[in-house]
Amino acid sequence: MLILEPIFHKAIWGGNSLVPIYGEAAQGLAHLYSVWCKPDCSNRILNGSNKDRRLYEVFNFKLTIALVDAAQDLSIQVHPSDDIARRIENNEIGKREAWYFIKKPSTGYIYNGMSQGVDLSGDILSGVQKLVIDDEDYVFVSPGTVHAMTAGSFVYEIEEGSDLTYRIFDYNRIDLGGNKRELHLDKAKSSIEFNKKSSIKKYDNNEIIEAKFATALYKESKSYTNRNEESIALTFINETTFEIDDLPIKMGMSIILFPEEEVKFSPFKANFIVARLTL
- Each residue of 61-97: pLDDT tens digit? 999 999 999 999 999 999 999 999 999 998 878 999 9
Query: Is there a contact between 133 and 202 (Cβ–Cβ < 8 Å)?
Result: no
Domain boundaries, position 226: 208-277
Q: Read off the pLDDT of residues 122-143 as tens digits, 9 standing for 90 and up.
A: 889 999 999 999 999 999 999 9
Within this chain, do residues 121 and 145 fall inside the same structural domain, yes or no? yes
Within this chain, do residues 58 and 133 fall inside the same structural domain, yes or no? yes
Query: Is there a contact between 13 and 73 (Cβ–Cβ < 8 Å)?
Result: yes
44 within domain boundaries: yes
Within this chain, do residues 185 and 254 fall inside the same structural domain, yes or no? no
Domain boundary among 201, 219, 248: 201
Q: Is the peptide bond before 267 cis (omega within 30 degrees of 0)?
A: yes
Whether residue 222 is predicted with pLDDT greater than 90 in this model: the reply is: yes
CATH label of the domain that carries residue 226: 2.60.120.10
Domain boundary among 174, 201, 228: 201
For residue 279, the model assigns a pLDDT of 57
Whether residue 170 is predicted with pLDDT greater than 70 in this model: the reply is: yes
Within this chain, do residues 104 and 194 fall inside the same structural domain, yes or no? yes
Within this chain, do residues 113 and 231 fall inside the same structural domain, yes or no? no
Domain boundary among 145, 168, 201: 201
List, in order, residues 6 or more apart from 191 with CB less than 8 Å away. Answer: 78, 79, 80, 81, 84, 143, 144, 166
Within this chain, do residues 190 and 221 fall inside the same structural domain, yes or no? no
The angle formed by the CA atoms of residues 116, 180 and 164, to the nearest 5 degrees, is 55
Within this chain, do residues 83 and 218 fall inside the same structural domain, yes or no? no
2 within domain boundaries: no
What's this model's pTM, rounded to 2 decimal places? Answer: 0.94
For residue 91, the model assigns a pLDDT of 84
1 within domain boundaries: no
Within this chain, do residues 196 and 219 fall inside the same structural domain, yes or no? no
Within this chain, do residues 45 and 168 fall inside the same structural domain, yes or no? yes
Count of domains in the chain? Answer: 2
For residue 261, the model assigns a pLDDT of 96
50 within domain boundaries: yes
Within this chain, do residues 188 and 72 fall inside the same structural domain, yes or no? yes
Within this chain, do residues 192 and 212 fall inside the same structural domain, yes or no? no
121 within domain boundaries: yes
Within this chain, do residues 176 and 41 fall inside the same structural domain, yes or no? yes
Query: Is there a contact between 194 and 117 (Cβ–Cβ < 8 Å)?
Result: yes
Quote the percentage of the chain above a pLDDT of 70: 97
For residue 205, the model assigns a pLDDT of 67
58 within domain boundaries: yes
